[in-house]
Structure 1
Amino acid sequence: MSLHNKICLVTGASRGIGRGIALALGSEGATVYITGRTLELSSKAPGSLNITAEEVNARGGVAIPVQCDHGVDEEIHRLFDKIKKDHGKIDLLVNNAFKGVATIEKNTAIPFWEQEKESWDDVIHVGLRCHFIASQVAAKMMVTQKDGLIVNVSSAGALFNFFTTPYGVGKAGLDKMSEMCGKELEQHNVTCLSLWPGLVQTEAIVAAKESLEKKKGAGVKIDVSKGETVEYAGRAIVGLMNDKNLLAKTAKTITTADLGSEYGFIDVDGRTHHSMRCVKAGVAMKHPWLAALIPAFIKVPWAWLVAMVHHYY
C-alpha cells in the first residue's frame, strides 16, 4: 500500500480513464476523491461515481464520491473546500474531466467553419479551462505544503490531427499549460506534467470498435484490442507518485508507455505497451518480420518525433 495516507483527486472518474486511475490509486491504499456529474447509474451512460467508489473500496482504498460539474467554477471551489476541511492537504490532482465526447463524434467529419460554437465551447471549457481552475486551487494548497503532483490527462491529439480542430487545440493548450505551470511550481517542490495515454479501451472506444477498426490513421489500421486498459494510466500515475526524483519531470509531456518502460510495470492483463517513440512498435505496424529484429529499447528522441509529425502529417 505505497499510497496509504495520500489524498488524491481524480476528476471525471465515473467511467473511462478516470475510473481506471481511481482504481489503480485505490489498489495502493490511497484516499481518492472522485468527481463527475453521474452519481447514480442511469440509462444515459455506463458507469457512475458510486460504482467506481465501490470498486475503489474493494481494492483497499478509500473512495469519496463528489458530484461536481467542472464547468461551474463554484462547484470546483466547493470541492476543494471539502478536501481542505476533511484532510487539510492534497497530494495529487488528476485533471481528467472532459465534456466533448459527443460533440467530437458529431463534428469529426464536418469542416471547422461549419461546426456550431459548441464544438469549441464543450471541449475547451470542460477539458482545458476547468483544468486551469482546478490547478490554481490545488497549487495554492501544494505550494503551502511544499509538495504535490498535478497530472493533466492529455493525448497525442496535441501533435497529430485527430478528431476536430477544437480537440487538437485543447490538448495542445493543456500540454503548454502543464509546461508553464510546472516551471512556476518547480521552485516550490510541486510537479505539474501532461500524461499521454495511448489508444485506451474505454467504454466508448469498445462500443465503437467496429467503426474504428474500419478506419485507418496515418495509413495504419486501428486495432482496439491492442489498446491500453483504463487502469494502465493509473499504474503510470502510481509510478509517478513513488518516484523519488519526480520533480525532474515537471513541465514535461510524458506517455504512459514510456513510464511503463521506465518504472517496469505492465498492463493489468499482462501486456507490455510500447511508446510511440519506440522504433520496434512503429516498424511492427507495417513490417512485423523486421520489427522482430529491433530491440525495444531503441527510441526516437521526442524532438525528432515532433519534427517528423510536422513534416509528414
Structure 2
Amino acid sequence: MSSLKNRTIFITGASRGIGREIALLCGAAGANVVIAAKTAEPHAKLPGTIHSVAEEVEAAGGQALAIQLDVRDEDRVQEAMEQTVRQFGGLDVLVNNASAISLTRLQDTSVKRFDLIHEINTRGSLVCAQAAIPHLKKSDQAHIISLSPPLNLKKHWLKPFIPYTLSKYGMTLLTLGLAEELRDDGVSASTLWPQTAIATAAVQYALDEKIMQQSRTPLIMAEAALAIINSNDLSFSGQSWVDEAILRAQGVNDFERYKFAPDATELMRDLYLDE
C-alpha cells in the first residue's frame, strides 16, 4: 500500500459503511482523515459514530479529526474545511460519500422528501466541493471523488425512481463538470460506483436483508477509491469509474474475497449498470 503520510482526506458520511471503510484504508496508509458525518451519538440500529471511526483510524495508523457535519448546512461545511486546514495544514482529497436513498416513483414521493435527497446528494456535494476547492488548488495531488453512477439514459433506469436518479445523476454531472473547470488547476474530479450491491448496515436497515447475501463488502469500494487517491496526475479525472474495473486495471483478479456471503453464487448488479 502506498503511503499517504502528510496527505489529508475529507470524507463525508464517514461514520459507517463505505465512508468508514475508505477512512480506515486511508488511515492505514498514514493519512490525516477527517470523519465528517451527522452521527456523533450511537444510533439504535446503525452502528458507528464519527468518534468511533476516528478511534479506528488512529488505531490503524492515521491521524483523525471527527467533525459532526450536515452537508446541507453550507456555513458549517465552510467551517469544517477551515478547521481541517487549521488542524492538518491543508487538504488533498474530498470524498463526497454522504447520500440519501429513496427508491420511489415521482408520483409517490413528496416534494419534502425530494428536497431532502437533493439537498444531501446533489446540493451537499456541490456545497462541499465549493468549500474545498480553494484548499485543493494548493495541493499537488488533489482529488474530488463523488460516489455516484455513470450516466445511463436507458429507459429502464429513467422510469422507476426519478427523484433519486435526478439527485445521483446530479452528483455525477457536477463532478464531471468540475473536472473541466478545475483541469488547469491540476485538481482531478471523478465519480466512483460499485459493480454490485454493497453490504452496509444502512442497506440492511432500509432495504432488504436478502440483498446483503448478494452483495460485496465495502472494502472493494475503499480499495478502488484508494487507487484514485494514489494517482498523481489527471488520468482518472472526468471519468465515471466502477470499482471492479478500476481494480482489474490495477491487476486484481480475485474478487471472491469481497463477497459478504462467501458461498453466494450470484451477486446483485448495482443500480444504473447494465454490463
Q: 1:142 aligns with which of 136, 160, 170?
A: 136
Q: Percent identity?
A: 26
> Which sits farther off after the overlay, 80-89 or 124-133?
80-89
Secondary structure in 2 matching 1:42: coil
* Structure of greater relative contact order (alpha carbons < 8 Å, 6+ residues apart): 2
Which of residues 130, 133, 140 in structure 1 aligns to 2:127? 133
Q: Is the 8 A contact 1:12 1:97 kept in 2?
A: yes
Q: Indicate the structure (1 or 2) with the bigger Cα radius of gyration.
A: 1
Contact 1:178–1:192, Cα closer than 8 Å, also in 2: yes
Unaligned runs of 5+ in 2: none
Aligned counterpart, 2:192: 195
Contact kept? 1:151, 1:193, Cα under 8 Å? yes
Contact 1:22 1:34 in 2 (8 A): yes
Identify the residue that residue 114 of structure 2 maps to in structure 1. Answer: 120
2:215 to 227, 242, 245: 227
TM value normalised by structure 2:
0.85
Matches within 5 A, 1:82-231: 82-98=83-99, 100-101=100-101, 104=102, 108=104, 111-155=105-149, 160-161=157-158, 164-197=161-194, 198-207=196-205, 211=208, 213=210, 224-231=212-219
Runs of 4+ in 1 over 4 A off after TM superposition: 156-159, 265-269
- Report deviation, 1:225: 2.8
Write 1 or 2 for the structure with the bigger share of helix: 1
The separation in 2 between residues aligned to 1:158 and 1:171, in whole angstroms, is: 11
Is the contact made by 1:158 and 1:170 (CA closer than 8 Å) also made in structure 2?
A: no
Aligned residues: 262
CA 1:194–1:229 in structure 2 vs 1: closer, same or farther (change >3 Å)?
Answer: same
Q: How far apart, in 2, do the equivalents of 1:208 and 1:90 lie?
A: 33
Corresponding residue SS for 1:97: coil
Unaligned ranges ≥5, structure 1: 214-222, 274-283, 287-304
Distance 1:121 1:9 in 2: 25
The alpha-carbon deviation at position 59 of structure 1 amounts to 1.2
Residues 28-68 of structure 1: per-residue CA shift (max 9 Å, x gap):
11110011111121325322111111211121112211111
The C-alpha deviation readout for 1:148-184, integer Å capped at 9, x for no partner, is 0000011368653586211101111111111111011
Q: Identify which of 238, 244, 250 aligns with 1:257.
A: 244
Give me the whole-angstrom Cα distance separating, in 2, the residues matched to 1:187 and 1:238.
23
After TM superposition, give the deviation of residue 236 of structure 1 in Å: 1.0
8 Å CA contact 2:215–2:259 kept in 1: the answer is: no
TM-score (norm 1): 0.75
Q: Secondary structure of 1:69's partner?
A: coil
What per-residue deviation string (whole Å, max 9, x for no partner) do you get for residues 59-89 of structure 1? 1112211111111111100101101222331
Any conservation in 1 of the 2:12–2:96 contact (CA below 8 Å)? Answer: yes
